């Protein structure tokens, strides 16, 4: 069990040797994400304030042109990852195609690529609901010394070397895994350091919370409809509680702590659901499995899906293992 209250920096150094690829680069990569998270956190936390100050003109209080926060977050993560000269490629929800990084990287010598949703749930900012950044890290598969290709980004989720999220909520946390469990770090804004507050995070095998946008109910597959009715029945430990924040990171985080299931199924309106495989579902699935939870599209393990496009969407069911397996049972029975 990791000792609480150590800083993220101390934790990374102590656990660097446990990581099979360790060369310090991944540690530097996690550190660059830490820095970007603090910069974005500062901007997200004063979003309302900036709106007030923004009335004074087009400038925000740093004198920068007012930008949509997800565009701002995208820029900050890309700048930080590029300036640290650690990655050879980046893909982002905010970028149509992947970005080949060769700034100070003499002939593409860096080994890692990052896929990121810089500010998931950003529409919630206007109503002061928590949002998050989601990231996924792989080693490149094309030869070092050449520019990255789409092949480096279309790897199965089971090849991830690290994944995590930042949740900008009542407190700001960085939660990540390198394949050795899931650990959560809380930012102390007064000094700008992240402290290990949630060591070895795990999904309870069972939970009593289900998270789904029930406004889409009539469009869901029969298996999902019947699973939702199962959650609502007066029987055994049910009915469960329905909690849906509309922010994947927030619903996932609460379910991991309390136990629960999150579903964004396919529907007659969205044939493959809404969530993106590469920079939403795969990183959350890696975290879920590292926390003894489960993640599937209702039939197939998320991390075994072979991606074909950078921004492809998949149906997503994720959370407490026994709840996901019950939902999969309904999907098989009524498919």
Which of 282, 268, 287 has its CA nearest to residue 313?
Answer: 282
Q: Which range of residues in 72-80, 107-115, 201-209, 240-248 is near ligand P6P by CB under 6 A?
A: 240-248
Q: Is 30 in the site for ligand P6P (CB under 6 A)?
A: no
- Alpha carbons 308 and 315: distance in angstroms, whole number: 15
Q: Which range of residues in 53-61, 84-92, 180-188, 242-250 is near ligand P6P by CB under 6 A?
A: 242-250
Nearer to ligand P6P, 19 or 203 (CB): 203
Query: Which residues fall within 8 angstroms of residue 267, CB to CB, at 6 or more apart?
Result: 216, 219, 220, 221, 273
Q: Is 213 in the site for ligand P6P (CB under 6 A)?
A: yes
Strands (DSSP E) contained in 162-251 are: 162-168, 172-177, 182-188, 193-198, 209-211, 241-242
Which of 135, 131, 211, 129 has its CA nearest to residue 175?
Answer: 135
The interface mask with ligand P6P, positions 75-104, x = CB under 6 A, is ------------------------------
Q: Is 178 in the site for ligand P6P (CB under 6 A)?
A: no
Nearer to ligand P6P, 54 or 246 (CB): 246
Shortest approach of ligand P6P to residue 170 CB, angstroms? Answer: 17
Please give the structure tokens belonging to residue 62: 């740093």
Q: Is 255 in the site for ligand P6P (CB under 6 A)?
A: no
Among residues 43, 70, 94, 120, which is the contact residue for ligand P6P, using CB under 6 A? 120
> Biggest alpha carbon distance in the chain?
64
CA 334 to chain centre: 30
DSSP 8-state symbol, 143: P
Q: Is 248 in the site for ligand P6P (CB under 6 A)?
A: yes
Nearer to ligand P6P, 76 or 276 (CB): 276
Nearer to ligand P6P, 120 or 328 (CB): 120
Q: How many C-beta atoms surround the C-beta of residue 62 within 10 A?
A: 8
Q: Which range of residues in 102-110, 166-174, 221-229, 246-254 is near ligand P6P by CB under 6 A?
A: 246-254
Which of positions 2-21 make contact with ligand P6P (CB under 6 A)?
none
The interface mask with ligand P6P, positions 257-286, x = CB under 6 A, is -----------------xx-----------
Which of 274, 277, 264, 265 has its CA nearest to residue 306?
Answer: 277
Which of 267, 60, 306, 18 has its CA nearest to residue 161?
Answer: 18
Q: Is 289 in the site for ligand P6P (CB under 6 A)?
A: no
The residue ranges that bind ligand P6P (CB under 6 A) are: 120-121, 213, 246-248, 274-275
């Amino acid at each position: 069990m990791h000792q609480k209250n150590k800083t993220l920096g101390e934790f990374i150094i102590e656990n660097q040797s446990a990581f099979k690829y360790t060369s310090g680069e991944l540690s530097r990569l996690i550190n660059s994400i830490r820095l970007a998270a603090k910069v974005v956190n500062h901007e997200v936390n004063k979003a309302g304030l900036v709106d007030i100050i923004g009335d004074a003109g087009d400038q925000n209080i740093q004198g920068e042109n007012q930008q949509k926060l997800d565009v701002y977050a995208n820029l900050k993560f890309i700048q930080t990852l590029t300036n640290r000269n650690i990655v050879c490629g980046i893909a982002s929800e905010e970028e149509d195609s992947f970005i080949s990084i060769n700034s100070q990287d003499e002939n593409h010598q860096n080994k890692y690529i990052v896929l990121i949703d810089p500010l998931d749930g950003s529409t919630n900012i206007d109503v002061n609901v928590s949002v998050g950044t989601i990231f996924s890290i792989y080693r490149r598969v094309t030869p070092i010394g050449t520019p990255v290709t789409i092949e480096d980004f279309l790897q199965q989720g089971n090849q991830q070397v690290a994944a995590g999220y930042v949740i900008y909520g009542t407190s700001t946390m960085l939660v990540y895994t390198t394949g050795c469990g899931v650990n959560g770090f809380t930012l102390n804004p007064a000094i700008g350091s992240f402290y290990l507050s949630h060591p070895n995070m795990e999904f309870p095998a069972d939970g009593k919370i289900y998270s789904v946008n029930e406004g889409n109910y009539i469009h869901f597959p029969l298996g999902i409809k019947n699973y939702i009715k199962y959650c609502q029945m007066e029987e055994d430990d049910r009915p469960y509680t329905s909690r849906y924040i509309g922010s994947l990171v927030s619903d996932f985080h609460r379910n991991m702590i309390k136990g629960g299931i999150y579903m964004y199924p396919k529907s007659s309106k969205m044939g493959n659901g809404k969530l993106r495989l590469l920079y939403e579902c795969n990183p959350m699935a890696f975290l879920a499995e590292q926390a003894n939870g489960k993640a599937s599209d209702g039939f197939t393990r998320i991390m075994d899906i072979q991606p074909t496009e950078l921004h492809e969407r998949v149906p997503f069911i994720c959370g407490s293992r026994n709840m996901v397996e019950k939902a999969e049972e309904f999907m098989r029975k009524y498919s």
